[in-house]
Amino acid sequence: MPDEGFDRRSFIKACAGVGAAGAAAAAGIGMLRPLTDMDVEIIPISYPGVHVMRGSPAPYGLPIIPLEITDEGALRGVPDAFENQLQWYRYCGHERTPGALPTWDGDDLIRYHVQEERLRKGLDTWFADIIGDQVRWQDFPEDTPDPLFADFPGAGAPFQWRSTDQPAESTLTGMILRAPAEIVDFTAAIVPTQEEEIRDWMPQHPEDPDSVFLACASMCTHFCCVARFHEDRLAVQSGYGDRIFCTCHLSRYDPFTIDVYNRTIFRYPEAEEEGGDA
């Protein structure tokens, strides 16, 4: 677990002496593309994310996606809330995804999104009838109406962001939670000045002052499967009904605890210059 503060000076500071092979290994299997391109840089990044639980195969937490609520009540991701923030989402093959680059020319609204295979199997959940719609704060029930999760706080839904008209492999996916504001906590790795800033990324609507809306990427940092919240019976059976849960290899994340993580990513300069051809 990181033991250094999350501050602007250290946010993008280079790690001296990290070679290509060592950086790739430190990034974790399945998180980065192979080093097949000559024009590629390996860089260290630091980001706030939901806490990965001890014993999980995932090495890092899920990066936060800062949010704001529009005048119309829609929830919008803020891609420039922090310096070089879009780098947080460039893993699991998304290094050159258009939406993960500053050249993206679409909107920043988040929209309900579910994988095609899950739709084919049938989807019985509170957001089943609004897949593809913009996510609005008033959509959310106070708690997930599924009786399986009746004992666990909050409600959540999957979404896509900065990915309109993109193929599946170039889609940035995430999950958004409506949760009681009082249960969101920060680890000691988050310095107080940054805690205040990060809290601003979890907006509250004036008509719902006791709740916050918290969003994070949903690409599991283990093998890039899609983690979910309050959707899988296995999560309850395994004792993690109140956690973000990945059924593939049982990675667990605490969505109500914010931590800071340090890892390496690939950077393709030509992709940023050309607009991101994944």
- Residue 118 CB burial class (10 angstroms; 0-12, 13-18, ≥19): middle
Does any domain span residue 186? Answer: yes
For 214, the domain range is: 47-82+104-260
DSSP 109: B
Does any domain span residue 57? Answer: yes
Question: Rounded distance, CA 56 to CA 253, Å?
Answer: 8
Residues whose CB is less than 8 angstroms from the CB of residue 207 and which lie 6 or more positions away in sequence, other chains included: none
pLDDT in tens, the chain (278 residues): 443 344 433 333 323 223 333 334 334 434 444 445 458 889 999 999 999 999 999 999 999 999 999 999 999 999 999 999 999 999 999 999 999 999 999 999 999 999 877 777 777 889 999 999 999 999 999 888 999 999 999 999 999 999 999 999 999 999 999 999 999 999 999 998 899 999 999 999 999 999 999 999 999 999 999 999 999 999 999 999 999 999 999 999 999 999 999 999 988 887 676 554 43
Residues whose CB is less than 8 angstroms from the CB of residue 212 and which lie 6 or more positions away in sequence, other chains included: 178, 179, 180, 181, 184, 202, 203, 204
Give the residue from 168, 159, 220 showing the smallest Cα distance to 31. Answer: 220
Does any domain span residue 32? Answer: no
Does any domain span residue 267? Answer: no
- Residue 98 CB burial class (10 angstroms; 0-12, 13-18, ≥19): buried
| Total number of domains in the chain | 1
Question: Rounded distance, CA 35 to CA 263, Å?
Answer: 17
Q: Is the dihedral of CA 211, 213, 214, 219 positive or negative?
A: positive
Does any domain span residue 140? Answer: yes
- C-alpha pair distances (Å), 100 with each of 83, 84, 142, 179: 14, 10, 31, 27
Residue 232: strand, helix, or coil: coil
Does any domain span residue 278? Answer: no
Task: Quote the distance between the C-alpha of residue 174 and its chain's center.
Answer: 5
Cα torsion at 132, 228, 89, 98 (round to 10°)? -20
According to the model, what pLDDT value does residue 270 have? 72
According to the model, what pLDDT value does residue 273 have? 61
Cα torsion at 36, 47, 230, 218 (round to 10°)? -20
Does any domain span residue 208? Answer: yes
